[in-house]
Amino acid sequence: MTREWEAGVHYNAGERVCYNGTDYNVIQGHTSQNDWSPPIVPALYGSAGPSHGHSGGGGGYQQPQQHQQQPPQQQAPAQQQPFGGQQGQQNVAGGTPAAPPPTKYSEGHGFDDGGSDKSDADDDEFDKKKLAMGIGGGLGLAALVGGGIYAYTRHKSKKAEEAKKEAWSENANQQTWQAGAEKRTRELATVSDKKKPPVFWVLTDHPGDIPRDAIPIGREAGGEPLFAARAFYQGGLHVGKAGKHFNPPGAVISWGGGAVTVEKYEVLVGDPRAITWKKFDERPHVRGWQPVDAGRESDGTFLFLAKTDNYGGGVQVGKVREDEDAVCFGYGDAEVKSKPFYIAAYA
Instruction: Report the mean per-residue pLDDT for the chain.
Output: 79
User: What is d(CA 64, CA 200) in angstroms, rounded to the nearest whole number?
Assistant: 28
* pLDDT band at residue 108 using 50, 70 and 90 as cut-offs: very low
pTM of the model: 0.69
pLDDT by residue (tens digit) across 36-47? 788 766 667 778
* pLDDT band at residue 293 using 50, 70 and 90 as cut-offs: very high
**What pLDDT is stored for residue 142 in this prediction?**
64
Mean pLDDT check: name the lowest of 3-7, 88-92, 310-314, 331-335.
88-92
Contact 201, 268 (CB under 8 A): yes
For residue 277, pLDDT beyond 50: yes
Q: Considering the domain 2-50, what is its CATH architecture?
A: Ribbon (2.10)
**What pLDDT is stored for residue 73 in this prediction?**
44
* pLDDT band at residue 98 using 50, 70 and 90 as cut-offs: very low
Transcribe 311-334 into DSSP letters: BTTBB-EEEEETT-SSEEEEETTE
Q: Where are the domains of the chain?
A: 2-50, 90-346
What is the mean predicted confidence (pLDDT) over 75-90?
A: 32
* pLDDT band at residue 192 using 50, 70 and 90 as cut-offs: confident
**What pLDDT is stored for residue 115 in this prediction?**
47
For residue 288, pLDDT beyond 80: yes
Residues 6+ apart with CB under 8 A from 47: 22, 23, 24, 38, 39
For residue 139, pLDDT beyond 60: yes
